[in-house]
Structure 1
């Protein structure tokens, strides 16, 4: 048997990269019986049925180091979360939701604010500062910013990266600029809704010249946080986690408890009010989900 990586799955067929050759494979029934569903990004063992037609059959799925739900992909090293600073207007609450998901999977995270050529610097730096102060690397890109594109190439080199964000923020355009032979369809922004049209139809690993892979994914509109407990949420906000153990109560949820260091740091503007509001909204959502 050979070992390879699933780069795409469509209609029950899985396309496996093996030494830069792509084999079209079906999964053995034993995998379904054992409730093992192949995912893009999986390292797999497969048998070659026809070397000329590049046909094979999946025999086994190797142990995953992590697994994302939206987008559905396994064995990811890092997430580059792309948001436009305008057109469409950035939904920071949605950004925070994705960061929570990426943090829960212990991914390295880079935030990419795109289309910086459409606003004056003073009109978007407040967003950059929020996330830099929270501890995240922030990259600024645009059609005119070659320095940002070169830095993005360095970040992607040699790693498996989820390249994600809402539709219309310019993900496919950025990937097309990173590597000229990536010919992804780019979408337009609806003038009426300022939302991007969906241009990516399935999850696919795209090989890069610098030996890495990127996952170009469909845009998403919501991320549920019902996979965690209330007490766990603070672990996924790095600036809140810094205060762990320093509040009066070990079980402090940083809401209405007395002597809460997190609330004090918000008042003193060490933690951005926008991030704290996102934290409280997600906390309430988790609480509501627990009631059903």
Structure 2
């Protein structure tokens, strides 16, 4: 039975790449019965009489999967934020990072529209860059308009399946077009009324870019922690994970426990205070979440 990789899902069809061909397939009813939905990135078994009439028979085991965007078997996430239009938002960045860390996916922070910044904004971004790099995150600054930073980003894409994620309007499609102009992905400007971008990408699709696969995904402006438990949250903050080894109590939640090394790190300036405040906010959000049945 032939095997292939789902490159695109659109209107109930799955486009499977196998032996340098793309087969248009449908999922068999057994997937609906077993509540299995094929995702872009899945390795599958399929049968097809021709390139337009195929059926997916089996979905291979996934190493990871995301809900929004719906994609599986991701090596890394290029988390894309703009300097301006829309303005950089560290709370939203940390929400992305927590979700990505919870899936054991390597994150790369990519800042776009650097050509728009003034001196004060640049100083603020430089401080964020220092903080996140100290934690261990890759931080790349780009401008699609001026073609800046693209040579730093493209080596990350080679031989990997990457998801480009970020809120609407940050320039994800523009960034991919700048790396490979032949893509001609649709882009749109920021809505002056709403202050955010319009959704120009309507589906998830794997694109061949820089000797790797990159998923252009629909933009979105919020992330829910539906699958993250309280005990897992601190492990999604790498700087907490290393500091927590010195906490007095095993399983310390870094809230009200005495002799907490994470809180000490915040007091001493080793851990950015805004990261800790985001952690407290996320912790309360998960704690207040309605139970799942």
TM-score, length-normalised on structure 1?
0.94
Indicate the SS of the match to 1:138. strand
Preserved contact between residue 49 and residue 57 of structure 1 (Cα < 8 Å): no
Structure 1 unmatched runs, 5+ = none
* Structure-2 separation of matches of 1:203 and 1:5: 14
Query: Shift of residue 31 of structure 1?
Result: 2.7
Paired residue for 1:223?
A: 223
Query: Shift of residue 55 of structure 1?
Result: 2.6
Query: Shift of residue 92 of structure 1?
Result: 1.4
Give the stretch that moved more between structures: 3-12 or 73-82. Answer: 3-12
Paired residue for 2:92?
A: 94
* Structure-1 separation of matches of 2:208 and 2:89: 30
* Structure-1 separation of matches of 2:253 and 2:32: 41
Give the stretch that moved more between structures: 170-179 or 189-198. Answer: 189-198
Paired residue for 1:185?
A: 186
Deviations 1:12-41 (A, max 9, x none): 111111123111111222233333211111
Paired residue for 1:201?
A: 202
* Structure-1 separation of matches of 2:146 and 2:234: 35
* Structure-2 separation of matches of 1:114 and 1:229: 32
1:78-227 to structure 2, matched below 5 A, reads 78-119=76-117, 120=119, 121-143=122-144, 146=147, 148-208=149-209, 210-227=210-227
Q: Alpha carbon RMSD of aligned pairs, Å?
A: 1.6
* Structure-2 separation of matches of 1:138 and 1:151: 10
Indicate the SS of the match to 2:131. helix
Residues 172 and 278 (structure 1), Cα distance of their counterparts in 2 relative to 1, 3 Å cut: same
Preserved contact between residue 166 and residue 221 of structure 2 (Cα < 8 Å): no
Residues 269 and 178 (structure 1), Cα distance of their counterparts in 2 relative to 1, 3 Å cut: same
1:18-97 to structure 2, matched below 5 A, reads 18-50=18-50, 53-97=51-95
Indicate the SS of the match to 2:7. strand
Preserved contact between residue 244 and residue 252 of structure 2 (Cα < 8 Å): no
Indicate the SS of the match to 2:243. coil
Query: Shift of residue 145 of structure 1?
Result: 5.3
Deviations 1:53-89 (A, max 9, x none): 5431111111111111111101110000000011111
Give the stretch that moved more between structures: 218-227 or 158-167. Answer: 218-227
* Structure-1 separation of matches of 2:155 and 2:178: 14
TM-score, length-normalised on structure 2?
0.94
Query: Shift of residue 237 of structure 1?
Result: 0.3
